């Protein structure tokens, strides 16, 4: 399942986020979205978790949880239209 993780502090690194998400299950990939020109984080990421039950547990536990002084938004990523 592909998860959207938003409202991230700009200092969060992919390895940091992966560590948090791995507390809830197997993480295939973490990709923090960055600005093309400045290479600075845009404050959101996509996390791929192969097990849907683990991903849903992560959503339930982490959505609204404070991380780096900001409440995270964690939900299933919707495909682009």
Per residue in 10-47, pLDDT (tens digit) is 999 999 999 999 999 999 999 999 999 999 999 999 99
Domain ranges of the chain: 2-70
Q: What is the mean pLDDT of the chain?
A: 96
CATH T-level fold of 2-70 = Alpha-Beta Plaits (3.30.70)
What's the pLDDT at 80?
78
What's the pLDDT at 81?
75
Q: Show Cβ contacts of residue 74 under 8 Å, excluding neighbours closer than 6 positions.
A: 3, 4, 5, 6, 58, 59, 62, 63, 65
**Each residue's pLDDT tens digit, 45-81:** 999 999 999 999 999 999 999 999 999 999 999 887 7
């Amino acid at each position: 399942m592909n998860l959207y993780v938003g409202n991230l502090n700009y200092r969060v690194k992919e390895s940091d986020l992966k560590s948090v998400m791995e507390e809830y299950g197997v993480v295939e990939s973490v990709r923090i979205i960055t600005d093309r020109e400045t290479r600075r984080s845009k404050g959101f990421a996509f996390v791929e978790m192969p097990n849907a039950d683990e991903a849903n547990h992560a959503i339930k536990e982490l959505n609204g949880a404070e991380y780096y002084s900001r409440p995270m938004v964690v939900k299933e990523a919707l495909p682009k239209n």
